[in-house]
Amino acid sequence: MIVRLSKTFHFEAAHDLPTFPPDHKCRRLHGHSFRFDVVVEGELDPAKGYLIDYGDIKKAAEPLVKRLDHYYLNEIEGLSNPTSEVLARWLFDRLKPALPQLSAVLVYETCTSSCEYRGR
């Protein structure tokens, strides 16, 4: 039986988007209440009855939340142009070593705008 689990995390951060046109509002420094979902997928272990402990997902994601929360994203290595797309890949690449079953990261920049990254 194949299952997919997700766990949601939150952080507050500021950024600007340097590749946007000079007069675009996102080119200016601004902040968001970001949310991201970590999605793992795989074969359920019938002996255990679960795929992975949600605590293991939390353990993998918490250091990243701490690195992002209340920071200026543009100053973090790999995030000089912190679009939702770039941020989703940045998170995925850092989570994958600890979560081999990782299948996607969804980043919500606002309540109505999100990006899903599923790896390379």
pLDDT for 119 beyond 80: yes
Q: For 25-70, how does the pLDDT look when each residue is reduced to its tens digit (9 = 90+)?
A: 999 999 999 999 999 999 998 999 999 999 999 999 999 999 999 9
All structural domains of the chain with their residue ranges: 2-117
Q: Give the pLDDT confidence of 84-112 residue by residue, as tens digits.
A: 999 999 999 999 999 999 999 999 999 99
- Which residues carry out catalysis? 26, 70, 109
What's the whole-model pTM score? Answer: 0.96
User: What is the CB neighbour count within 10 angstroms for residue 21?
Assistant: 8
- Confirm or reject CATH 3.30.479.10 for domain 2-117, answering yes or no: yes
